[in-house]
Structure 1
Amino acid sequence: MTVQSGYADIFGPQVPRTGDGDQTATFALASAAYRDSPVEEILKANNEWHQSAVSGGRTWTRIFRPNLGEAFSTAVIARMLGAGRKPLIQSFGAEPQVVVEHCLAANNIRRERDNLLTIVMVLCGLLFLPGLLIWLLVFQIRTTIAKQEGRAGALATALLVGVGALAVIFLVKMPFSGFWAWYARAAVVLPVVGWFWAKQICERTAKDLRERWNSLLSGSSVGAKVPEAVPTSPKETAAEQLRQSLARLSAEQQSNSVFYAGPKGILGMGTRWGIWQLAEDLLPADPTREIHPFRSWDVIRAIHDQLRMLERGPLNTGGFTKPSIRHWIVTPVGENTKEVSRPEGTDVEAYQVKSHAIQDICNKQQFGAGDRHYLGVQWTLWDGQLVITMLITVTVLHETLRIEVTGHALGPVHGLFTSKPEAKEKEVAKSLKFWETRKVRLPLVDADEVVRLTARAPLTWYPPLLNWLGGSLTLPEPFGLRHAWADKPWRHRFMADDALRAATPVLRVVHAAAIRVLTENGVDTEKFGTRSAFLSTAVQDTSPSKADLYDA
Structure 2
Amino acid sequence: MADDGFDFSPGAQVPLSGSAGQTAATFALASAAYRDNPVEEILKADNEWHQSTVKGPRRGAKILRPNLGEAFSRAVIDRMLGVGRNPLIQSFGTEPQVIVEHCLAAHNIRRERDNWLTAVIVLCGLIFLPGLIVWLLVFQIRTAIARREDKRASALGTTLLVAVGALAVIFLIRMPFTGFWGWYARAAVVVPVVGWLWAKQICERTAKDLRERWDSLLAGGAIGAKVPEAVPGSPGETAAEQLRQSLARLSAEQQSNSVFYAGPKGILGMGTRWGSWQLAEDLVPREAGKEIHPFRSWDVIRSIHDQLRMLERGPLNTGGFPKPSIKHWVVTPIGENAKAVSRPGGTDVDAYQVKNHAIQDICNKQQFGSGDRHYLGVQWTLWDGQLIITMLITVTVLHETLRIEVTGHALGPVNSLFTTKPEAPSKQVAKSVRFWETRTVKLPLVDADEVVRLAVRAPLTWYPPLLNWLGGSLTLPEPFGLRHAWADQPWRHRFMADDALRAATPVLRVVHAAAIRVLEENGVDTEKFGNRSSFLSTAVQDPTPRKADVYDA
TM-score w.r.t. structure 1 length? 0.97
Alignment match, 1:90: 90
- The alpha carbon displacement at 1:22 in A equals 2.4
Q: Decide which moves more: 443-452 or 139-148.
A: 139-148
Alignment match, 2:202: 201
Alignment match, 1:52: 52
Alignment match, 1:249: 250
Cα distance in 2 for partners of 1:84, 1:253 equals 17
Alignment match, 1:370: 371
- The alpha carbon displacement at 1:133 in A equals 0.8
Letter paired with 1:317: T
Letter paired with 2:28: A
Alignment match, 2:551: 550
- The question of 1:458 aligning with 2:459 is answered yes
Cα distance in 1 for partners of 2:230, 2:17 equals 20
Alignment match, 1:345: 346
Cα distance in 1 for partners of 2:42, 2:459 equals 26
Cα distance in 2 for partners of 1:448, 1:6 equals 47
Secondary structure at 1:405's aligned position in 2?
Answer: strand
Cα distance in 2 for partners of 1:300, 1:227 equals 46
Residues 253-264 of structure 1 aligned to structure 2 (within 5 Å): 253-264=254-265
Cα distance in 1 for partners of 2:342, 2:112 equals 38
Cα distance in 2 for partners of 1:147, 1:287 equals 85
Alignment match, 1:23: 23
Alignment match, 1:331: 332
Cα distance in 1 for partners of 2:543, 2:399 equals 31
**CA deviation digits over 1:158-195, x for unaligned, max 9?**
11111111111111111121111111111111000000
- The question of 1:437 aligning with 2:438 is answered yes
> Contact conserved, 1:120 with 1:198, CA < 8 A, in 2?
yes
Secondary structure at 1:402's aligned position in 2?
Answer: strand
Cα distance in 2 for partners of 1:463, 1:128 equals 26
Distance 1:6 1:334, change over 3 A: closer
> Contact conserved, 1:56 with 1:467, CA < 8 A, in 2?
no
Residues 356-505 of structure 1 aligned to structure 2 (within 5 Å): 356-505=357-506
Cα distance in 2 for partners of 1:326, 1:279 equals 23
Alignment match, 1:116: 116
- The alpha carbon displacement at 1:2 in A equals 6.2
- The question of 1:185 aligning with 2:186 is answered yes
**CA deviation digits over 1:221-280, x for unaligned, max 9?**
200000000001000000000000000000000000000000000000000000000000
Alignment match, 2:527: 526
- The alpha carbon displacement at 1:3 in A equals 7.5
Alignment match, 1:132: 132
TM-score w.r.t. structure 2 length? 0.97
Residues 267-306 of structure 1 aligned to structure 2 (within 5 Å): 267-306=268-307
> Contact conserved, 1:131 with 1:191, CA < 8 A, in 2?
yes
Letter paired with 1:442: L
Letter paired with 2:400: E
Letter paired with 1:300: I
Letter paired with 2:233: T
- The alpha carbon displacement at 1:55 in A equals 0.4
- The alpha carbon displacement at 1:487 in A equals 0.2
Q: Which runs of 5+ in 2 are unaligned?
A: 1-11
**CA deviation digits over 1:308-327, x for unaligned, max 9?**
00000000001000000000
Cα RMSD after superposing both structures:
1.2
- The alpha carbon displacement at 1:472 in A equals 0.2
Alignment match, 1:4: 15
Secondary structure at 1:519's aligned position in 2?
Answer: helix
Q: Which runs of 5+ in 1 are unaligned?
A: 8-15
Alignment match, 1:102: 102
Cα distance in 2 for partners of 1:173, 1:262 equals 74
Cα distance in 2 for partners of 1:4, 1:126 equals 52
- The alpha carbon displacement at 1:4 in A equals 2.5
Secondary structure at 2:276's aligned position in 1?
Answer: strand
**CA deviation digits over 1:7-62, x for unaligned, max 9?**
9xxxxxxxx9xxx7321000000000000000011011011000011104113011
Q: Indicate the percent of aligned positions where both proteins have the same amino acid.
A: 83
Secondary structure at 1:481's aligned position in 2?
Answer: coil
Alignment match, 2:5: none
Cα distance in 1 for partners of 2:277, 2:544 equals 12
Cα distance in 1 for partners of 2:17, 2:381 equals 15
Cα distance in 1 for partners of 2:543, 2:469 equals 51
Cα distance in 2 for partners of 1:266, 1:542 equals 22
Letter paired with 2:39: V
Cα distance in 2 for partners of 1:395, 1:2 equals 38
Cα distance in 2 for partners of 1:176, 1:139 equals 26
Distance 1:3 1:252, change over 3 A: closer
Secondary structure at 1:125's aligned position in 2?
Answer: helix
Cα distance in 2 for partners of 1:473, 1:93 equals 24
Residues 137-148 of structure 1 aligned to structure 2 (within 5 Å): 137-148=137-148
Alignment match, 1:11: none
Letter paired with 1:240: E
Letter paired with 2:88: L
> Contact conserved, 1:391 with 1:405, CA < 8 A, in 2?
yes
Cα distance in 2 for partners of 1:210, 1:310 equals 43
Distance 1:111 1:246, change over 3 A: same
- The alpha carbon displacement at 1:6 in A equals 9.5
- The question of 1:79 aligning with 2:90 is answered no
- The alpha carbon displacement at 1:78 in A equals 0.2
Aligned residues between the structures = 541
Cα distance in 2 for partners of 1:332, 1:130 equals 60
**CA deviation digits over 1:396-442, x for unaligned, max 9?**
00000000000000000000000000011101111111111100110
Letter paired with 1:483: H
- The alpha carbon displacement at 1:5 in A equals 4.4
Secondary structure at 1:181's aligned position in 2?
Answer: helix
> Contact conserved, 1:283 with 1:523, CA < 8 A, in 2?
yes
Alignment match, 1:61: 61
Cα distance in 2 for partners of 1:81, 1:294 equals 45
Cα distance in 2 for partners of 1:534, 1:428 equals 66
Cα distance in 2 for partners of 1:221, 1:33 equals 15
Cα distance in 1 for partners of 2:290, 2:238 equals 68
**CA deviation digits over 1:81-129, x for unaligned, max 9?**
0000000000000011000000000000001100000000000001111
- The question of 1:231 aligning with 2:232 is answered yes
Alignment match, 1:309: 310
Alignment match, 2:8: none
Cα distance in 2 for partners of 1:142, 1:322 equals 59
